Amino acid sequence: MSVLDDKINEHFKGLVVRKDLVKIVKGNAIVPSYVLEYLLGQYCATSDEESIKSGIDTVKEILGKHYVHRNEAGLTKSVIREKGRHKVIDKIGVQLNDKDDVYEATFSNLGVSKVLVDADTIKKHPKLLVGGVWCISDLEYEPSEDKRICPWMMQSLKPIQLSHFDYDAYIAARKNFTTEEWIDLLLQSIGFNPEMFSARSKLLQLVRLIPFCERNYNLIELGPKGTGKSHIYSEFSPHGILISGGEVTVPKLFVNNSNGKLGLVGYWDAVAFDEFAGHDKKPNKALVDIMKNYMANKTFSRGVETLGAEASMVFVGNTQHNVPYMLKHTDLFDELPSAYHDSAFLDRLHFYIPGWEIDIIRGEMFSDGYGFVVDYLAEILKNQRNQDFTQAYTEHFHLLSDISTRDRDAIQKTFSGFMKVLFPHGEASKDEIEVLLQFSIEGRKRVKDQLMRIDSTYTAVQFGYTAVVTGKKQLVKTLEEKQFPQHYYPHGTPTAEGDGTDTEKTETSSSSATEVVPKEKVLKEQHLVIEENQKGISFDELFGPYLKGASEIVITDAYIRKFHQARNLMEFLESVARNKTDDEEVEVKLITIEDEFYGEQQKDYLMSIQENIWSAGIRFSWEFDQTNTIHARHIVTNNGWKILLDRGLDVFQAFEGKDALVLANRMQKYRSCRAFEVTYMRV
């Protein structure tokens, strides 16, 4: 186990489980993760290997005997008939038979219906009436001569969810973890390996938890397929429900006026709409209107009566185009059905998760470390819906007065949700609060900027904040605003001072039209700041112009050790090759530090680079610094430039580097960057 895993088991003994066990026990059982982890939490919530093995066998045995496979329903019915009684694990839904004034249960996989349920059970577990709940139930079979009487009888019913927890103990244990450790624990709890995610990417994953801990929170996530957008709403919590965007009606979602039966928003903490995007979808206009009112006011009407609910609304869907295309031709809500591509609806969204920043899920991204039994974390988040951290930032920062009430509410709800998830004990530093505040502002700004494209009545707003002590003003931009300024602003790109490019107008001989011809980039001293998750960056653009004409280049970087770092070095040398003429030779020397444990492998990498780059006219050599005191990372050329790199060449986040058919493997500009800075100096 890792040091973090040891710490997790020490402070949350019996409440955590090794996350790879879910795959081991699942087999072909089509059940949510929280059902499996409920069972694993009963028998495998330990770090003892023998106990884990024994627990896995027990859980497999329970699933083998009691989980109802749809294609084996007949066999299970036979077992119940022959034994008289049998315990089953199935999804159970209940409906009121108003003709006979009785509640009747339906077992989803077993295919049994009209099983009588007493009213007390419904009072204890009202969610049985909407969407169904996974349960462990004792079912009996007793045939009757009266064919109108159902032979199936339910003797007991227990929803699969935690029965109790100690919130004070949770808060006390949280104090033993650093912020980074806690974020990694949460990421492992939802099944991911934190080593595969940058700090910003971790926050993008964790914002998906906010609908479970924040009342009436409206979240949207649009992005490519395969990024896990809907997983957390279907698998993570027994308090959330995932429905298809095209399969919901007003009675199902809000209220049935004919019988007064409440819909999903009255029983679930988070209602998520899957496959929400799609131009061909035709949602009911009445549903859209009621949804607008509910998202804004937390209420909906039943005839002359107005009702309230606390369910958060989540909308997830796929985009068909990349970000620059959408920004240039339409907007970031382009994929939504026309009824929802409406400013009044979109203005009620509190946060827009940029799904294009989230990597497609790969096998190595899953965790085999320890995390909370998801049902335990789900109950914690449900309990936190009663807390409020919306003003926790005001001791240090004030939002700009330009920000409207609706924008302010959205920012504060996101910030409050983040505080509940990351700092439930309330002990966040000023810097940590500032990071969350910036992230919360960015998510709302993404919504508002697109609204200005869709509806001309919306005016420009300065999104930002001021520091209480210094009064310093800080404006916030979205990442795509920084990355694609030429497309982001619908009324023209603001002139950026000193962007390093100039154009001149020349008359062509074949036409009287004016053609814009770019001049060669003017090299100058400058400082660049690259944001985390930013794309569009390549070594050719970062270094190429400064490498032209250089015959000697010295790279100083202590961390050219692992395979991906050696690959970065090779790609830098490829850039050198592209920026010289065929008849030129360039001497490139690397000064680095020998790896203490994998020095031979490191030398093999460097030797392979040396041998393979020779044919391109590049004479590569290296030396190990014997003092082991290299701290600064930089590139020095004999054509007069020194390039300071705070991260060296290791500027890209992890990606699928072994698959030659992955675009990020072929072209650097399609990779997500780490946050880094570059300074260009004349020497």
- Does 379 score more than 70 pLDDT? yes
Token pair, residue 47, equals: 């770090």
Rounded to an integer, the average pLDDT of 268-275 is 94
Which pLDDT value is given to residue 491?
63
Which pLDDT value is given to residue 218?
98
Which pLDDT value is given to residue 245?
67
More confident residue, 629 or 194: 194
Q: Are 309 and 270 in contact (CB under 8 A)?
A: no
More confident residue, 164 or 11: 11
Which pLDDT value is given to residue 521?
64
Q: Are 444 and 415 in contact (CB under 8 A)?
A: no
Q: Are 257 and 315 in contact (CB under 8 A)?
A: no
What is the C-alpha end-to-end distance of the chain, expressed in Å? 49
What pTM was estimated for this model as a whole? Answer: 0.81
Which pLDDT value is given to residue 506?
33
- Does 509 score more than 50 pLDDT? no
CA distance readout (Å), 525 to 377, 393, 681: 51, 38, 5
Which pLDDT value is given to residue 627?
84
Give the mean pLDDT of the chain.
90
Q: Are 91 and 108 in contact (CB under 8 A)?
A: yes
Token pair, residue 228, equals: 């896990």
CATH number for 526-682: choose from 3.30.870.10, 3.40.50.880, 3.30.1660.40, 3.30.870.30.
Answer: 3.30.870.30
Region class of 508: left (phi > 0), else alpha (psi between -120 and 50), else beta: beta
Architecture of domain 3-13+165-382: 3-Layer(aba) Sandwich (3.40)
Q: How confident is the model at residue 504 (pLDDT cuts 50, 70, 90)?
A: very low
* Strand 133-141 with 112-117, pairing: unpaired
Adjacent-strand bridge partners of 622: 590
Which pLDDT value is given to residue 507?
35
The dotted CATH code for 70-159 is 2.40.50
Tens digit of each residue's pLDDT (9 = 90 or more) over 514-556: 334 444 567 999 999 999 999 999 999 999 999 999 999 999 9
Domains 3-13+165-382 and 70-159 fall in the same CATH topology: no
Give, as one character, the DSSP assignment of residue 261: E
Alpha-carbon distance of 423 to 175, in angstroms, equals 9
Tens digit of each residue's pLDDT (9 = 90 or more) over 459-478: 889 999 999 999 999 999 99
Rounded to an integer, the average pLDDT of 135-155 is 89
Rounded to an integer, the average pLDDT of 421-431 is 97
Rounded to an integer, the average pLDDT of 618-639 is 92
Give, as one character, the DSSP assignment of residue 364: G
Which pLDDT value is given to residue 75?
94
Which pLDDT value is given to residue 660?
85
Which pLDDT value is given to residue 505?
36
Which pLDDT value is given to residue 511?
35
- Does 246 score more than 80 pLDDT? no
Which pLDDT value is given to residue 322?
86
Q: How confident is the model at residue 496 (pLDDT cuts 50, 70, 90)?
A: very low
Which pLDDT value is given to residue 172?
97
CA distance readout (Å), 458 to 41, 61, 293, 402: 51, 60, 20, 13
* Strand 218-223 with 312-318, pairing: parallel
Read out DSSP for 148-192? TS-SEEEEEEEESS-----HHHHHHHHTTS-HHHHHHHHHHHTTB
- Does 243 score more than 80 pLDDT? yes
Where are the chain's structural domains?
Answer: 3-13+165-382, 70-159, 388-488, 526-682
- Does 31 score more than 90 pLDDT? no
Alpha-carbon distance of 649 to 641, in angstroms, equals 17
Alpha-carbon distance of 247 to 42, in angstroms, equals 36
Alpha-carbon distance of 486 to 494, in angstroms, equals 9
Rounded to an integer, the average pLDDT of 8-21 is 92
List of residues 6+ apart from 575 with CB closer than 8 A: 538, 539, 540, 543, 544, 547
**Is the Cα dihedral 62, 64, 65, 67 positive or negative?**
positive
Q: For residue 63, which of 37, 23, 25 has the smallest C-alpha distance?
A: 25
- Does 70 score more than 70 pLDDT? yes
Tens digit of each residue's pLDDT (9 = 90 or more) over 659-672: 888 899 999 999 99
- Does 441 score more than 90 pLDDT? yes
Q: For residue 264, which of 130, 91, 95 has the smallest C-alpha distance?
A: 130
Alpha-carbon distance of 263 to 291, in angstroms, equals 13
Q: How confident is the model at residue 637 (pLDDT cuts 50, 70, 90)?
A: very high
Alpha-carbon distance of 658 to 662, in angstroms, equals 9
Q: How confident is the model at residue 285 (pLDDT cuts 50, 70, 90)?
A: confident
